[in-house]
Amino acid sequence: MPVPLLALAISAFAIGTTEFLIMGLLPDVARDLNVTIPAAGLLVTGYALGVAAGAPLLAALTSRMPRKFALQLLMGVFIVGNVMCAVASNYSLLMVARVVASFAHGSFFGIGAVVAASLVPQEKRASAIALMFTGLTLATVLGVPFGTAVGQQFGWRVAFWIVSGLGVISLVGVTALVPNHHDSGPAGLGHELRVLRDPRVWLALGMTVLGFGGVFVVFTYIAPILEQVSGFTPRGVTLMLVLFGVGLTLGNTLGGKLADRALMPSLMGILVMLAVVMAIFTKTSHAIWPAAVTVFVWGIAAFATVPPLQMRVVAKAAAAPNLASTLNIGAFNVGNAMGAWMGGLAIAHGVALDSLPWVAAAVSLAALLLTWAAARLDARGAPLRGASMTARQDA
Please give the residue that has the higher pLDDT: either 366 or 378.
Answer: 366
pLDDT the model gives residue 184: 45
pLDDT the model gives residue 12: 92
Alpha helices, H only, 178-262 = 189-193, 199-219, 222-224, 234-261
pLDDT the model gives residue 165: 95
Same domain for 148 and 211, yes or no, is no
Q: Quick one: which of 18, 343, 351 has its CA closest to 166?
A: 18
Same domain for 358 and 343, yes or no, is yes
- Asked if 332 and 208 touch (Cβ cutoff 8 Å), the reply is yes
pLDDT the model gives residue 60: 73
Q: What is the CATH number of the domain that holds 103?
A: 1.20.1250.20
Number of domains the chain is built from: 2
Other C-beta atoms lying within 10 Å of the C-beta of residue 279: 15
Q: Report helix, strand or coil for 311.
A: helix
pLDDT the model gives residue 393: 40
Is residue 115 pLDDT above 70, yes or no? Answer: yes
Q: Quick one: which of 187, 164, 181, 149 has its CA closest to 64?
A: 187
Q: Please provide the DSSP assignment of 32-70 as one string.
A: HHT--HHHHHHHHHHHHHHHHHHHHHHHHHTTTS-HHHH
**Percent of the chain at pLDDT exceeding 70:** 88
Same domain for 218 and 350, yes or no, is yes
Helix 263-284 to helix 306-315 angle, to the nearest 10 degrees?
150
Phi first, then psi, for residue 90 (nearest 5°) are -150, 175
Can you give the residue range of the structural domain that contains 280?
A: 187-395
- Tens digit of pLDDT for each residue in 211-266? 889 998 998 888 899 999 999 988 888 888 888 888 888 887 788 778 777 888 98
Same domain for 177 and 272, yes or no, is no
Q: Which of 132, 162, 186 is the last residue of a domain?
A: 186
pLDDT the model gives residue 361: 94
Other C-beta atoms lying within 10 Å of the C-beta of residue 89: 8
Same domain for 61 and 7, yes or no, is yes
Helices first, then strands: H and E counts in the chain: 18, 0
- Tens digit of pLDDT for each residue in 66-111? 888 989 999 999 999 999 999 998 999 999 999 999 988 888 887 7
CA atoms of 203 and 386, how far apart (whole Å): 12
CA atoms of 110 and 197, how far apart (whole Å): 20
pLDDT the model gives residue 360: 93
Is residue 308 pLDDT above 90, yes or no? Answer: no
- Asked if 67 and 185 touch (Cβ cutoff 8 Å), the reply is yes
Same domain for 145 and 87, yes or no, is yes
Same domain for 234 and 162, yes or no, is no
Same domain for 146 and 249, yes or no, is no
